[in-house]
Structure 1
Amino acid sequence: MVKQLSKYNHLLILIILSIFYMMPMFLYSGVIHFSMQDTYFHFSRITSMSNVWTSPVNYASYHHNGSMINQFYPWLTIYPAYLFTKITGSMVWGYKLYCWFITLVTLLISYYSIFKMKKSTNIALVFSAVYTFAAYRATDLFYRGSLGEAVAMTFFPLVLAGAYEIFVGDEKNWRVLAFGMTLVLYTHLLSVAMLSVLIAIFLIISIPFWDKRLQRLKALTKATFLTLLLSLAFIVPFLEQMLQLDLYTPRGVSLEGFTYRSLLSNLLWNRLNGFSIGLFIFIAIFMTIIGRKKLKKPDMVIFIMGVLLFVSTTRLLPWDKLSATPLLTIQFVWRLNALVTLLLAYSFSVSFDSKKVVVRINRQILLLPIIALLHIIAVFNLYNSEKVYNLVARNDDIRTVIQDSDMTALDNSLNNIDYANQRVVENMDVVANYKFLLDGKEITPQFNLTDSTIRIELKDIKNPGNLITPIYRYIGQNVSINDKETTSKLSDSGTTEIQVPKGDSEITISSSYTRLAISARLASLITLLVIVLPKKRIKAIIKKVNPRSGE
């Protein structure tokens, strides 16, 4: 009874913490955006999800170029943000409510994950608060506007718990790792890559010390296979486009670690624009060393790995020489701080625990207000600066405020070339200036668009010719002229080119999911139902579909 009461008290604490966390954002009438960051991009991603279940392209967003953004940037876990905007009738309020929602979910998942590992509600409470309020997560959410990475961090603790169970704990809980990795994959691909490497390192370190080695290897294999099946709905369409088209993919130019001066400055001043782990996690390193006797061997490995990753973000590692390796795909060295935050928050939470109830409660009463206050001060310091000088990126970010009235202009103007054809990058004129060219001569046809289609009207064309449009071309594109299906081809500008007849023409361009993409989505859905639904329920469904199956 006491334990149950403790859990309910902790749930109330987590809800209160989520409100305090989001308080700075809710106190502003709009959403703060810094000019060099990603808030605009993710706002457009949210608006582009209005037709995401039926079409991979939304022509009303991203400068109306028909960017297939949702086929290449995982969107499933961010889709609730679109639902919040529809419920509230406001993009600003929908975005804010989603950020609060994902913060509460982060607190709850963090609590569950660490309780799964350590069977201690007190360690779980401390970790969920320290991890969720960590400076790097606030950097993603309040400064960078990097919704994908911020949401991916929500599921990092599940991955840690799942790997821990397979390598150290009860390997029968292998599904925790599968669900954690799947949720990250449906959110942020770079995070999947980083977590996979981290798991591989832990595997190499721990496998010589495993008991039940065969069972644990089987559990890891099953977790990997289940992750793959659950993720087919995204992986298959992604690869289908990537392997058949020559697309431009975002990549870093070079890798550069922190200078010691900039790192120390950003840590001590707890700057959210410094991309660091923040003051509290930095102090937690030393506090963990003091309480290291409470760490078991697996906990100590996690702590050491966290410290090594933290040190590796500096120029102590020759990142300039590593820029020619696949590591360049992470784009920025400071991305590693998402993993550093996870590992150090965990080890600190374990070392912070006490067997004495009074000491434990007093520590929590002191700790929770401190991390909440540090967070609120850091966000307000960031928000109250008109210009933010960034020691890492060496640029000035102009602070602006996004209102609902800005959304139409944003969708009209934001031109996105990520995952467009490579030719687009070399011939930006047609796309950026939204040009239509008929046999090389610019024309200004009438056109109108909806989320799922764009219609172009040509009047009194003297001779048949080739029309180059500013619309991107992907597999699954549908084109018709005067309600008759026709084909398109890739223009020299990397966009859609259509052969048009003389006279009047109404050209309709749309896009649909391929049969392969639909099949992959169905396979993932069936896998999920098989895993989630009880076996009796599955047998009942099969019997309804095929009555003879029970004979």
Structure 2
Amino acid sequence: MKKEEKFGTKLLLLLVMLALSIVFVAPFVMHGIHMEDDLSFHIERIRELAQNIAHGNWNPHYYTYEFWKMGYPLGVFYPQIMMLPFAGSALMFKSVTSGIYFGIGFYTFSTLYVMYFVVNRILQQKTAAFWSAVLYTFSCYRMLDILARFAVGEFIAMVFVPLAFYGLYAVFTDQKRKWLYLPIGLALVLLSHLLTALMVILIMALLVVILLPFVHQRKIKLVHLFKSGLLFSGCSATFLVPFIHEMTYQAIVTPKGNPIDQHIFTIKNIFFSTLINSNQRFGQVSKWNSQVAAYYTIGLVLLIVALLGIFYFKRLKMVSKIALICGSVLYFSTYFGSIWTLLFDTPLRIVQFPYRFFSLATFGLALVGGNLAELMINSVTRKWLVQAVLAIVIGGTWMWGAHTYYATAGPQQDFATIVPSWRTDQYTPKKAQPVIGQIVHHQARVDGHLIQLKSNEIQSVPDGFVFKNAEFKGAKRVILPICNYAGLKVYQNGYEIPKLVTQNVEVEIQKSKSTEIKVLYRTTWGTILGNLISIITWIFCLVFLFRH
């Protein structure tokens, strides 16, 4: 009987999470998706992956169907494994829009489940775990990530951030084998979004330096941290090996972000955006106060959590106290632009935007919020009333936040009309910048003459192109409109031929013997080894973690 009741409770919890996931997707279905910060970039990624999946290639390194068909190695420079639910469902439903809705719903359900699992393990309270999961999933910044920013990688990474921090918690609390959640969680974050992984590692490093002197058995904890680092590298090798290979092969143009002063707003802007739980785009003039501009924020509910956390500080569990301090520092530091001006003169500049740390602040404060909810619910007899108030406050502010966005959003986007708007100089060789325009417009050079290749003369194939032109045959020198990368190989008549590289890093062949030239991005032995290491490491981690 007890087993049946336990199963029924778990099933009910999963059904509630499923219902909440549908609620989260509802505004997107009702109001559509609008052209925002990174939308066109990620739509093209989804379409590229879908095209490759349709041809049996689940992990393309070299994008050839989208991005002007210029040969873009985003599969090397951007983690893409976690994008497969978006691309696979887009292919299954024959609609990119439906694929996006499914992907958002899938990762919303995953966020609820992972956060519930983590907080339940840490606080040992199911009520606290549930409300932490709701606070985290329906947080203002998470909604901003997918609504106003359409930062899909960061949105997905927020699923696994709690898992990584639970692993660190397990290291410090000597939980047998549970420290394995640290490398597993970190690897999942990295395979979602590289910069989020770097931020998590930075915050974890600071926590280790601060907390390690105050704990017992420091050597054992350091050993677990060292092993976690090795296992994290192994789990991530499938991405890290080709990434490092291409980054060290030649100088690559990477995003630098705007000057830091463009991302530092006045206290009035930040505080007002937080008070109204704004989901408006960064810098947009507020519809409710023309004197302020919108700033990305953690939202009103988590600000209240931070303030209540100070009031209830003595009653909070130790882990909640640490989470409160970390989350509050990450949020309130944005009120002081001089701090970020100094930090962005360091390698931390790679983060690009200070508000990116709000994903970590959101996790910390959501954990505190669950602890506070449990304290409040247990302090009254009418527990249902407190939970009803929590649901109304969280749900109401979340709905209002979505309204602030849609009330000022631009026109709904027709994905069929999307053309590349992303900066195509990024993730291309620095030496190729003078000829990027020719590459984008598919202008080849044959024996010194510029030739405009027509669309039917460029055939996209998984991880490659087939170029066809009558003037190729017999030409002494053919310069193709693509940049060279370490994994590119050139073929004619079914055989690999020598690949030459111009001073502008374009692919060149000499003494062409055919009207057809095939270029493929081949998996190197290093990449194969990286994939093998990842598979072995993942199997080891999961078997060792769950063998009992």
TM-score of the pair, normalised by structure 1:
0.88
Quote how far apart the aligned CAs of 1:222 are: 2.1
Aligned residue number for residue 91 of structure 1: 96
Amino acid at match of 1:236: V
Q: Tell me, yes or no, if structure 1 residue 27 matches structure 2 residue 37.
A: no
Q: CA deviation at 1:470?
A: 2.2
Q: Distance in 2 between matches of 1:54 and 1:318?
A: 40
Cα separation, partners in 2 of 1:469 and 1:535, compared to 1, 3 Å: same
Q: Which of these residues, 245, 248, 257, is aligned with residue 250 of structure 2?
A: 245
Of 344, 349, 354 in structure 1, the residue corresponding to residue 370 of structure 2 is 349
| Structure 1 pair 384–111 and aligned structure 2 pair: CA distance change class (3 A) | same
Q: 1:54–1:512: 8 Å Cα contact kept in structure 2?
A: no
Residues 268-293 of structure 1, C-alpha deviations (whole Å, 9 max, x = no match): 22211221111111121112222223
Give me the whole-angstrom Cα distance separating, in 1, the residues matched to 2:33 and 2:367.
Answer: 31
The alpha-carbon deviation at position 313 of structure 1 amounts to 1.7
Distance 2:119 2:59 in 1: 38
Contact 1:54–1:513, Cα closer than 8 Å, also in 2: no
Deviates more, 1:455-464 or 1:156-165: 455-464
* Separation in structure 2 between the aligned mates of residue 463 and residue 160 of structure 1, nearest angstrom: 61
Q: Is the 8 A contact 1:21 1:376 kept in 2?
A: no
Equivalent position to 1:154, from 131, 148, 159: 159
Q: By how many angstroms is 1:495 displaced?
A: 2.8
Aligned to 1:16: 19
1:319 counterpart (335, 340, 357): 340
Q: Deviations over 1:22-55 (max 9, x none)?
A: 1100113x42222xx0011111111222435464
C-alpha displacement at 1:322, in angstroms?
3.2
- 2:296 and 2:74 map into 1 onto residues whose CA distance is 26
Tell me how far 1:461 sits from its aligned partner: 6.0
Provide the residue aligned with 1:423 in structure 2. Answer: 431
**For residues 91 and 460 of structure 1, what CA distance do their matches in structure 2 show?**
38
- One-letter code aligned to 2:317: K
TM score, norm. by length of structure 2: 0.89
Q: 2:361 aligns with which of 324, 334, 340?
A: 340
The match for 2:510 among 495, 499, 505 is 499
Deviates more, 1:212-221 or 1:275-284: 212-221
Distance of aligned partners of 1:147 and 1:480 in 2 relative to their CA distance in 1, 3 Å threshold: same
Alignment of structure 1 residues 36-185 onto 2, 5 Å: 37-49=37-49, 50-51=51-52, 52-53=57-58, 55-168=60-173, 170-185=175-190
Q: How far is 1:415 from its partner?
A: 6.0
2:488 partner amino acid: Q
**1:459 maps to what in 2?**
470
Cα distance per residue 1:47-95 (max 9 Å; x no partner) = 2224354642131111111101011100111111111112111111011
Asked whether the 8 Å contact 1:291–1:352 carries over to 2, the reply is: no
**Structure 2 residue aligned with 1:480:** 491
1:469 to 475, 480, 484: 480
Which letter maps to 2:540?
Answer: V
Amino acid across the alignment from 1:72 = F
Q: CA RMSD in A?
A: 2.4
User: Please, which runs of 5 or more residues in structure 2 have no aligned partner?
Assistant: 282-294
Following superposition, the deviation at residue 536 of structure 1 comes to 13
- State whether structure 2 residue 401 is matched by structure 1 residue 378: yes
Work out whether residues 171 and 215 of structure 1, in 8 Å CA contact, stay in contact via their aligned partners in 2. Answer: no
SS in 2 for 1:102: helix
For 2:322, the equivalent position in structure 1 comes to 301
SS in 2 for 1:33: coil
Alpha-carbon separation, structure 1, partners of 2:116 and 2:98: 27
Decide which moves more: 150-159 or 284-293. Answer: 284-293
Structure 1 vs Structure 2: percent identity of aligned residues?
26
Instruction: Return the letter of the residue paired with 1:144.
Output: R
**Is 1:448–2:455 an aligned residue pair?**
no
Match of 2:534 among 497, 515, 524: 524
In structure 2, relative to structure 1, the CA distance for the partners of 1:534 and 1:159 (3 Å cut) is: closer
Number of residue-to-residue matches in the alignment? 518
- Picking from 228, 234, 237, the partner of 2:233 is 228
Structure 1 or 2: more strand by fraction: 1
Describe how 1:193-272 pairs up with structure 2 within 5 A: 193-256=198-261, 257-272=264-279
Q: Is 2:440 the counterpart of 1:432?
A: yes
